[in-house]
Amino acid sequence: MTFSNIMDSNSYQGDSSQAGVGPLIAARARMLGPASRLFYDRPVHLVRGQGSHLFDADGASFLDAYNNVASVGHGHPHVVDAVSQQLATLNTHTRYLHGGILDYSERLLASMPAEIDQVMYACTGSEANDLALRVAEMYTGASGVIVTADAYHGNTTAVTAISPALGAATTLGKNVRTVPAPDSYRIPRAELAARFAADVAGAVDDLRGAGFGVSALVADTIFSSDGIYPDPSVLKPAVDVVRAAGGVFIADEVQPGFARTGESMWGFTRHHVIPELITMGKPMGNGLPVAAMAARSDVLKPFAVGVPYFNTFAGNAVSMAAAAAVLDVIEGERLLLNAASVGAALRRDLAHVAAGHPRIGDIRGAGLYIGVEVVADPDTKTPDRAGARWLVNALRERRVLLSVCGAAGHVLKIRPPLVFSRSDVDWFCTEFAAVLGDF
C-alpha cells in the first residue's frame, strides 16, 4: 500500500502520558472500526482552533501547518457569522430559486477564464471528480483516463479507480493508465515537460490500442499526492497531446485551488492551460462540505441535458453562504498575496535551517503548498520514508502539525491555513531546527 499522504496510526497500545486520550482511542476502535485511522504515533485530541492555531484538551497550543480545509483560518468569525445567519434564515435545496447560489456562481466564474462559463455543485471533491469523469465521458464518447502514478482524487468507487495512491487494496480501472509525476528533484528541469508529455502520449497510445479511447487527463496541478511538484511548465504539452487524441483536461483544484499556490486563485493558471473541467472542494467552505465542478458549457451539455443529476445538499443556501464568506476573506485579507509572501519566506527560512542537513534533499513548492524531501543520501536521492515519519512525529511532540506525501511517504507536506503569518513561520522553523538537531 502506497497511500502515504496520511500519517496514520492504529498501533497505539497505551501510553501513560496519553492517559486522557486512551479511552477516546478505544471508543473509536470499538465504534468506528478499523477504517478509522489517526494521525501520529501519539494522536492529538483537539478541542479548539483559531486562525492557524489549534488547542488540545489541556489548553496546549499547536501550530497547524497542515489543514487546507480551514483555509481562511480555524473559526474565522466572518464564515461563522455567515453560516449561522443563513442557517437560521433558510437552508434548502436548489429546486427552488435562491439568490445565494447565483451571486456565488457569478463570483466563482469571474475568477476563471471566460471559457469556463458554467458550474455544478456537489458536497465533496470526490463527488465533483466523480461527476467530472461522467461529463468527460459523455462529451468525448471515450472512457480512457490518464492520471499520475500516485494521484489521489477521492473516495467514491469511480474516483478510487483513478487514485493509485490508495494502493493495492483498490484496483485501478481497466480504462485507467498512470504516468510518472514530473519529479523536479530527480529529472533535469529542461527535460521535465517533454518527458511528462511523452509519458502521456504513451498512455494515449495504450488506451487507444485497448479500445477505450481518451476521455481525460486528470491532474492536480501541484501533484500533491505524488510529492508536490510545482514546476509550471509541465502540463501544457501534455494537455496538448490529450486534446489531439480527443480527450479533455480535468484540473483537480481540490488541493491547489482557492489561492493556495500564491500565484493565482487556481493552480492551472500557473501552467497556462485552460481546462475543460475544473473540480474543487476542501477549502471552498472552510470546513462545510461544499464542492463544485466548473465547466465549459459545450463540454457539460451532453451530460447536463441527458442525465437528471441532482445532489440534495449541493448548492444549498448555507453552503453558498459559507463559500461566499470564504471568497470575502480571501479577497479582504489578501490571502493570495499572503500565501505568496509567507510561503516564500517559509521556503527561504526552511532552506536556511536545513543547510548542513544532507538528508533534507529538496525544499520546493508554490505559495503555501510546500514539500520537503527527506532522503537517505543526497547523492542517490533515495527516499527515506522512516526519516520523514520520524520528523513528523518529532514535530508533533513539539506541537507542530504536518504530514507526508509522495510515493514512499518521504516528503513532508506543509500546507497550513492561508492566514499563516511570519511569526508562524518563525515558530515552524524554530521547531524544525530543533528536530533536525536530533535527526
| Subset of residues 72 to 91 that bind its own copies, contact rule: CB under 8 A | 74-75, 77, 79-80, 83-84, 87-91
Q: Judging by beta carbons within 10 Å of its beta carbon (0-12, 13-18, 19+), is residue 46 exposed, middle or buried?
A: middle
Does position 19 interact with its own copies (CB under 8 A)? The reply is no
CB of 96 to its own copies, least distance (A): 5
305 is a site residue for its own copies (CB under 8 A) = yes
Q: How far is the CB of 39 from its own copies (least distance, A)?
A: 4
For residue 183, the Cα-to-chain-centroid distance in whole angstroms is 17
430 binds its own copies (CB under 8 A): no
Residues 150-209 that bind its own copies (CB under 8 A): 155-158, 160, 166-167, 169-170
Residue with cell 480527443: 246
Pick one of 19, 97, 114, 190: the residue that binds its own copies (CB under 8 A): 97
Q: From 97-105, 330-338, 341-349, 357-365, give the range in contact with its own copies by CB under 8 A.
A: 97-105
Piece in contact with its own copies (CB under 8 A), picked from 149-157, 178-186, 234-242, 326-334: 149-157
What are the φ/ψ torsions at residue 277 (nearest 5 degrees)? -135, 140
Q: Are 160 and 170 in contact (CB under 8 A)?
A: yes
The DSSP line for 236-303 is: HHHHHHHHHTT-EEEEE-TTTTTTTTSSSSSHHHHTT---SEEEE-GGGGBTB--EEEEE-HHHHHHH
CB nearer its own copies, residue 222 or residue 340: 222
- The CB-of-14 to its own copies minimum distance in angstroms stands at 14
Q: 204 and 212 in contact (C-beta within 8 Å)? A: no
Q: Which is nearer to its own copies, 248 or 300 (CB)?
A: 300
Residues in region 306-345 near its own copies by CB under 8 A: 306-313, 316, 318-319
Scan for cell 458550474, then name that residue.
119
Q: How far is the CB of 86 from its own copies (least distance, A)?
A: 10
Residue 107 phi/psi, 5-degree rounding, is -70, -45
Least distance between its own copies and beta carbon 284 (Å): 10
Among 13, 14, 16, 96, binds its own copies (CB under 8 A): 96
- Determine the interface stretch with its own copies among 29-37, 332-340, 349-357, 370-378 (rule: CB under 8 A): 29-37
Q: Which of 16, 17, 19, 95 binds its own copies (CB under 8 A)?
A: 95
User: Can you tell me whether residue 86 is helix, strand or coil?
Assistant: helix
357 counts as binding its own copies under rule CB under 8 A? no
Under rule CB under 8 A, residue 21 binds its own copies: yes
Nearer to its own copies, 329 or 375 (CB): 329
* Smallest separation, CB 416 to its own copies (Å): 13
Residue range at the interface with its own copies (CB under 8 A); choices 126-134, 239-247, 259-267, 334-342: 126-134
What is the nearest approach in angstroms of its own copies to the Cβ of residue 35? 4
- Interaction of residue 436 with its own copies, rule CB under 8 A: no
Q: Between residues 401 and 435, which has the closer beta carbon with respect to its own copies?
A: 401
Q: Name which of 316, 339, 288 is nearest 104 in CA terms.
A: 316
User: 381 with 375: CB under 8 angstroms?
Assistant: yes
Supply φ then ψ for residue 35, to 5 degrees: -75, -15
358 is a site residue for its own copies (CB under 8 A):
no
Q: Which is nearer to its own copies, 91 or 421 (CB)?
A: 91
3-state secondary structure labels for all residues of 380-420:
CCCECHHHHHHHHHHHHHCCEECEEECCCCCEEEECCCCCC
Position 49 contacts its own copies (CB under 8 A): yes
Q: How would you class 310 by CB atoms within 10 Å of its CB: exposed for 0-12, middle for 13-18, buried for 19 or more? A: exposed
Nearer to its own copies, 278 or 360 (CB): 278
- Any contact of residue 114 with its own copies (CB under 8 A)? no
Q: Which is nearer to its own copies, 5 or 184 (CB)?
A: 5
CA distance 252 to 293: 9
Q: Which part of the chain contacts its own copies (CB under 8 A), choosing from 118-126, 229-237, 326-334, 358-366?
A: 118-126
Chain centroid to Cα 301, Å, comes to 28
User: Does position 126 bind its own copies by CB under 8 A?
Assistant: yes
Q: How far apart are CA 243 and CA 239, in angstroms?
A: 6
Binding of its own copies at residue 119 (CB under 8 A)?
A: yes
C-alpha to C-alpha distance for 295 and 116, rounded to whole angstroms: 5
**Contact, 350 vs 426, CB < 8 A?**
no
